[in-house]
Chains A and B, each alone.
Chain A
């Protein structure tokens, strides 16, 4: 058995809308090992959520299309799996925590029923009392007393709802957890509690995790490896140490770090990246970042940069600056 759980090779995803073709993911590759947490960092519209939806094959019908590339889960390409196979995978092998706990729960079902739903689907032969027992265990695992399972989502606060969502996602002990901005909608003190809980459970169940976020503070706290995403591509990929303390970085990564106010240093002004994300229906030629980049040369506008390996294999930067 290899340690590689998920491997994505050269993935291309588009949304074909009536008005235009949106190039959401453009040649994305990464791997996640067993028990590892990969942070996928980028701004709105970078293609982070599209990547996660592709792994679950939940792209909108007829509009979202995987045009190229493969997604290997335990060596099986799931881009070619049938809908029936996917149903067996979703919730069992791969599950997802959505960003907004307020809208990802069904308001007219009790939370106990919502946890039971995934358990029943994947354990068709289990008896009622077994399911009920496992619902209780799932709730206790996320720190909610089991006697609250008869309550409805509106009776819970935001942080508690997100705990319920986590309980649903982890009910079948999946191998891979996709967490799409799991704490963005929560207050800081609650965010810290939920992150702590997620780390603890991940450790206990030995789950791998793809954590989608725009918050580098969250990444520093819980990830092992980091992929920085821009306009549907990974522009920098490396271990936590390489990204946070390494010397060499993609200009976009530099910009992201420069845009965060530093708590320890007194800075007069921040150093944001100028301009805006490119329009995904009309991406620039060459390097997708070139028109916002302060080191841009003629080469950048003309040719797309290769993935350059920096000192050792794990650190990859997609930039002409390092291509010698």
Chain B
């Protein structure tokens, strides 16, 4: 089977601000197959989270299409959306603010089931909650605890449990490990990969951490100010980065290896400019060491430079 589970076409989300239109997500397209992971990387404010939420229609897109199993979900009404959300879930970044402090662990995990009525009968629901808790590594004695009694790692396990109890096919993971310590981060990453292997979940994994994204993804999309600047299979991207921004990102990673210490390469200058009413052309141009007039002259489209490797840069047009 080669059909895509999720397909996004020319998705745009602009926010109205007093100063003009903020281009949060600008013309993003991708497709994700079953059991695969798409990593989305970029710095704060590049539109990663907005993209994830727009796909789930937690934010309504301005333009474009989102297809789930070949059907466009943007025209769905409330009831249809509720039906389809059983198959599309999200894990949020901050395990401290994304769960209701006044609900017990079992109520939090059972809530999606109660809302969607996929399991009926209190006994069956409790049974399902217990199974899921065991699967994500939460001990049974915690069922009646409140979130404030738990540490970040355990809270994020609740977030994972809540997302998988409906047995979805597609999960948007919005920086699920960035608020956690390294040893706990590794535990959660392992859990997520195990679950994917067992149940064939497709992940859209949003992160700013390049070593995490390399570890978990099959394909990686690099975003800069709402646009996709480069997209490729993960090894291809790490071995042959082409866009100057991707190169700069890879150069900026600090590797825990001292043999690399002497090498210090091209740091990029400056900071991300404003996404409100952006100028035409490449948005990275003001920071780019290779920028020419052609970069700001007009739209720079994504171009396939080798099989399944797309770059949006005038150097490759």
A positions within 8 Å CB-CB of B: 43-44, 157-160, 187-193, 195-196, 214-221, 240-241, 244-245, 255-263, 267, 269-274, 276
Contacts and interface: CB of A to CB of B under 8 A. Distances in A.
B43 A214 contact: no
Contacts of B210: 188, 263
B153 A276 contact: yes
Given A43-B182, A214-B181, A261 B256 contact: no
Contact of A159 (B189, B252, B271): B271
15 contacts: A158-B44, A187-B43, A188-B210, A188-B253, A189-B252, A189-B268, A192-B252, A244-B256, A244-B258, A245-B258, A260-B186, A263-B214, A269-B194, A273-B183, A276-B151
A98 B210 CA distance: 25
Interface in B196-253: 208, 210-212, 214-215, 238, 248-249, 251-253
Please list the 9 inter-chain residue pairs (A to B) with the smallest Cβ-Cβ separation, ordered nearest first. Answer: A217-B254, A272-B186, A261-B215, A216-B256, A259-B186, A270-B186, A187-B43, A192-B252, A43-B181
B21 interface: no
A195 B255 CA distance: 14
Contact of A220 (B182, B184, B190, B255): B255
B253 A217 contact: yes
B184 A276 contact: yes
Interface in B124-150: none
A270 B189 contact: yes
A157 B273 CA distance: 11
A269 B193 contact: yes
Contacts of A190: 43, 271
A261 B212 contact: yes
| Chain A contact surface mostly | helix
B229 to A, nearest CB: 13
B100 interface: no
A279 to B, nearest CB: 10
Nearest to B194: A269
Contacts of A262: 211
Nearest to A255: B183
Interface residues of B, number: 39
B80 to A, nearest CB: 38
Most buried by A among B212, B238, B248, B256: B256
B267 interface: yes
B258 A261 contact: no
Given A157-B271, A267-B215, A270-B190, 4 more contacts: A44-B181, A214-B182, A220-B254, A276-B184
Interface in B158-195: 181-187, 189-190, 193-194
B260 interface: yes
A189 B271 CA distance: 9
B198 to A, nearest CB: 13
Contacts of B189: 261, 270
Most buried by B among A189, A219, A241, A258: A189
A24 to B, nearest CB: 17
B261 interface: yes
Interface string B259-280: 0110010011001000000000
B257 interface: yes
A13 to B, nearest CB: 21
Nearest to A257: B256
B256 A43 contact: no
A51 B184 CA distance: 23
Most buried by B among A217, A240, A271: A217
Contacts of B271: 157, 159-160, 190
Contacts of B208: 187-188
Contacts of A195: 254
Nearest to B215: A261
A221 B253 contact: no
B252 A220 contact: no
A188 B43 contact: yes
A174 B106 CA distance: 53
A274 B271 CA distance: 39
A220 B267 contact: no
A256 B258 contact: no
A276 B182 CA distance: 11
Contact of B258 (A44, A220, A271): A220
B184 A258 contact: no
A263 B151 contact: no
Given A188-B43, A261-B211, A215 B254 contact: yes
A130 B186 CA distance: 52
A244 B255 CA distance: 11
A188 B249 contact: yes
A182 to B, nearest CB: 13
Contact of A271 (B186, B215, B261): B186
A214 B186 CA distance: 14
A244 B256 CA distance: 8
Contacts of A157: 271
